[in-house]
Amino acid sequence: METTTHPERVILFDGVCNMCNSSVNFVIDHDPKGNFSFAALQSAYAQERIASLGGDPSQLDTVVLVKDGKMYQKSRAALEVARGLNGLFPLAYVFRLVPTFLRDLVYNWVAKNRYKWFGKRNECRMPTPELRARFVSA
């Protein structure tokens, strides 16, 4: 029986979304210890990982953070990521006090308009050779 090793903290993002790719760059810039790994939601890895955690792999309109075997989505995922960055970004975790339905209302509005506002790529992001180790492959 084959066992698969999964990163402890992996951010699953929409690989064709320009805003999402910019967000990945932001995390890379503010995560010098390399605590987070990345995979496009469109990848086989992400699809299998989401399904294994009881999620819906067909939903590509949300960021997903898999952290220590738990799956976080939407605003909760964003807050958990901010919590793991350096600098003052962990202070954003105070927004956890805002009810989830309000946070996700804003999150869903941005997610719905992200292609219109920021554009879309024709294919998923390919990491540079320097960053390849931080991206999970299928």
Q: List CB contacts of 13: < 8 A, sequence separation 6 or more.
A: 20, 21, 23, 24, 38, 39, 40, 41, 63, 64
For residue 107, the domain's CATH number is 3.40.30
The answer to whether residue 42 sits within a structural domain is yes
pLDDT of residue 6: 60
The answer to whether residue 133 sits within a structural domain is no
Whole-structure pTM over 0.85, yes or no?
Answer: yes
Structural domains of the chain, count = 1
What is the arithmetic mean of pLDDT over 11-38?
A: 93
Kindly report the average pLDDT of the chain as a whole number. 89
The answer to whether residue 138 sits within a structural domain is no
Structural domain span for residue 38 = 9-127
The answer to whether residue 132 sits within a structural domain is no
In contact, 15 and 41? CB cutoff 8 Å = yes
CA angle 113, 67, 88 (to 5 degrees): 70
